[in-house]
Structure 1
Amino acid sequence: MARYPVPSHVIESIDAADLRGFGAAHLARRAANRRTIARLSEKLNAVFDSGVPFFTKDAIRDIVRQLDELAVNPNPRVHTVRKFIVRGLDDCVVELRVPLGRVHPYRDLPDVDIVDAKLLVRFRPIDHLTSTTRRFADEFNIEHAFLPMVVEPRPVQLHSVTNDYVPQYPVLPLEAVQATLQRKRTEWESSSACQQLLSTLRSAAIPDVRRIVAFACFNMSDCEMAERSACQHALLLILRKFFAERQRIAEEDIVCFAQDPLYEDVDKKVLAGAGISVVENPRAFLEVDDASLVLSISPETPVRQIVADIAQPAVMIWNRVEEVEQHAEWIGQTEWYGPPFQIFY
């Protein structure tokens, strides 16, 4: 069964609504996939309960090596198939065939196409591999049932004539992003939440921190998310200063990394100017070690599960997740809220 089962009435409500839109044949395939997932879940749960890590640095490093060896495709619209070799939790080797170049049949902007032009490494923890919810039942592939990591096409926006990359949202200018980051740092440093956080860290027996690795802090150049994203990156800078002073070393002696596939060039320039190195997915996980502070407030990637398998960092800071009561119109969705952060050390 699923590691964290969804109430049956939720699944039934979703299926009833989907029956009208997708039809009986689609629902029959979904039901068959659910039965297969339920059967395979017994073995997956047994592997998880035995303590076998789902994620290892060797496996991540091997994916990175295969990504680095790929030849550059000069025309992102040309249909190509990228191949990757991965090993599953059942110790079987699987060849992933990832198609690129597909142009999606819809667009958000005139003269801009959505094209499968990039690659994305997706991590699948135990709750994903054993889930029978709509998303996971519909996308289920029995050949991938025991794969905790897969490589998938990542759609991006390209100009229909020039093939130039087009950002998904309006991008703020460099000066504006720099100013927002500095303002958020000043606000953070003078806030009671920051003082509470630093007080907690001062009172804890924490090993020396030599690097800070941040995941999914979003892009500060996004006009809608700039404030929230800048706040998270400002926290990284505050933490670097705190641990440098605590350990009586220069701030430059604490190396900082940030990973988010949504970073624009403007974000990378601002972060570089602040002494933060941007790394591509999934390379930041290879930077995490026992002398690291991991900062990941609200990621879509299962950062905590991955880090728990590959290292024992000195500190982890994340958003504490709590499920709230759902309204009827939210059926099939999950709403979360929580206080600003939770610390593990």
Structure 2
Amino acid sequence: MGPRTTPADKEKLVQMDSIFREIQTIYDAGTPIFAKENIRQVGEELRRFQDGKHNDGGNITMRGVNGVDYEVFVHPPRRGPPRENEVPGGLTWIIHYHALEYLTSFKLSDIAVFDLQSAYLPMKIGAIIRTRNENVKDTPLRPAPPEEDLTTYWAIEREWKTSEHYAQLQEVLANVEIPIPLTKVIAVASGRPVVQTQVNKRRVLHHSLISDLHSTLVRRGLFLPAASSTKPYIQDPAYTQRDRDILRSAEFTILDDPQAWLELDDSSVLVCINADFPVADIVADICRPALIIWDKKRGPHPYWTVTPRVKAMIENEYIETKFPDHECFGNLVVLVRKTS
């Protein structure tokens, strides 16, 4: 038998249902769920937490999809007892992005934790505690020195550039016709290049794709002259200092969340490989990048269905081209914006 529903629960369910219907009506009217101004506001609040001013939590004001400002309390992470051989690491404050279906549906088990005050918020701030495992059997290798990290990174990239997959990708990029001059390449959620103390091939290739895409499009003369010397932008809240050191040496400009969304515009190229948040929903609300490379399956979360807004954007405004198959890249597609 499931949990018993009390009269108070029933009353709350009525309130929840009313909120879900209202949010759906707001969405159906064409109102952006992720507006740039709201993203900017959340970013400013996030900075305060990242600066160490609210490590114990704190009140912040955030705007809901209904246009109303709500004061909500951001809770610090719960520090449970560490597992065997596990040592707590640093605290990282991040933004959680919530898709439309998350905002308009629920399970009965959600009733107790459902917060009416934050129900309209598509973005929330939370914290994660990093941990490291001190079991020598699990992590036998010590971190490599920085110069060795970069040597490994370049070796993986060089090997990829001699592969059949790379040749196939170059053929795809050679035939891409982009309707407007480009100004930047922006990649989000490409993953940490260092996993369990070692440079990871899959994650290196994610970043190699970004830099090679940038250099190929520049070589083809598809960038505005003033923008052709820019470095590709990358953003992933999971990056550690070691990751950042490698990636800066590999000629990337690293952005802090949510700066990538504020930089993204119609003259941008967007790359997103297997993100764990609703990228397509954000993009459909804020701009129409000239070129998109992203994971067709939209991510693993059960709430991440393809919304009508995303579906209309892809079908009506983009031409889809298959991305060459490769075990390290998943089910990627190339979307090129149609000419007006």
Relative to the length of structure 1, the TM-score reads 0.74
What is the rounded CA distance, in whole Å, between the counterparts of 1:196 and 1:31 in structure 2? 57
Closer/same/farther in 2, CA of residues 230 and 65 from structure 1, 3 Å limit? same
- Alignment partner, residue 105 of structure 1: 80
CA change 1:323–1:299 in 2 (3 A) is closer
Partner of 1:10: none
Counterpart pick for 1:142 among 79, 94, 116 = 116
Deviation of the 1:57 alpha carbon: 1.4
Q: Does structure 2 conserve the Cα–Cα contact (< 8 Å) formed by 1:320 and 1:341? A: yes
Match of 2:189 among 191, 213, 216: 216
Q: Aligned to 2:280, which of 299, 304, 325?
A: 304
- The residue that corresponds to 1:313 in the other structure is 289
Does 1:48 find its partner at 2:27?
yes
Contact 1:180 1:227 in 2 (8 A): no
Quick one: structure 1 residues 279 and 137, their matched pair in 2 at CA, closer, same or farther if it must change by over 3 Å? farther
- 1:230 to partner: Cα distance: 0.7
Q: How does 1:47-126 map to 2 (within 5 A)?
A: 47-69=26-48, 72-73=51-52, 80-100=56-76, 104-108=79-83, 110=85, 112-113=87-88, 117-126=91-100
Q: 1:242 to 1:30 in 2, by over 3 A?
A: farther
- 1:205 aligned counterpart, secondary structure: coil
Give distance in 2, aligned partners of 1:300 and 1:341.
15
Give the whole-Å Cα distance in 1 for the aligned partners of 2:41 and 2:188.
20
Matched, 1:344 2:335: yes
Contact 2:153–2:199 (8 Å) recurs in 1: no
Question: Using a 3 Å threshold, how does the CA distance of structure 1 residues 72 and 319 change in structure 2: closer, same or farther?
Answer: closer
Equivalent residue letter for 2:294: W
Distance 1:150 1:183, change over 3 A: same
Give 1:269's match in structure 2, choosing from 237, 245, 269. Answer: 245
> In 2, Cα distance between the equivalents of 1:111 and 1:69?
29
Stretch moving more, 180-189 or 143-152 = 180-189
Q: How much does 1:276 deviate?
A: 0.8
SS at match of 1:242: helix
CA distance in 1, matches of 2:66, 2:234: 32
TM-score (norm 2): 0.75
Greater percentage in helix: 1
Using the TM superposition, give the Cα deviation of residue 149 of structure 1 relative to its aligned residue in structure 2, in angstroms: 1.2
Q: Secondary structure at the match of 1:253?
A: coil
35-44 vs 277-286, which moves further: 35-44
Q: Contact conserved, 1:211 with 1:292, CA < 8 A, in 2? A: yes
CA contact (8 A) 1:33 1:138 kept: no
Partner of 1:131: 105
Kindly, what percent of the aligned residue pairs are identical?
A: 22
Kept after mapping to 2: 8 A contact 1:212/1:240: yes
Residues 152, 322 of structure 1: alpha-carbon distance in 2 compared, 3 angstrom cutoff: closer
Name the structure 2 match of 1:11. none
2:152 maps to what in 1?
A: 180
C-alpha change, 1:111 and 1:270, in structure 2 (3 Å) is closer
Deviations 1:215-257 (A, max 9, x none): 1111111137812111100101110110110117699623321
Deviates more, 1:177-186 or 1:266-275: 177-186
Q: Kindly indicate whether residue 170 of structure 2 is the aligned counterpart of residue 198 of structure 1.
A: yes
Per-residue displacement from partner, 1:113-136 (whole Å, max 9, x unpaired)?
367x43221111202112324786
Q: Please give the alpha-carbon distance, in whole angstroms, between the structure 1 residues aligned to 2:174 and 2:25.
A: 40
Seen in structure 2, the aligned counterparts of structure 1 residues 138 and 236 have a Cα distance that, compared at 3 Å, is farther
Letter in 1 for 2:30: G
Q: 1:172 to 1:199 in 2, by over 3 A?
A: same
Distance 1:72 1:318, change over 3 A: closer
Tell me the residue number matched to 1:4.
none
Secondary structure at the residue paired with 1:190? Answer: coil
Residue pairs, 1:18-37, within 5 angstroms? 24=3, 36-37=15-16
Residue segments in structure 1 that go unaligned for 5+ positions in a row:
1-15, 160-166, 325-331
Assess, with a 3 A threshold, how the Cα gap between structure 1 residues 45 and 180 changes in structure 2: closer, same or farther: farther
Deviation at 1:269, TM superposition (A): 0.9
Q: 1:106 to 1:70 in 2, by over 3 A?
A: closer
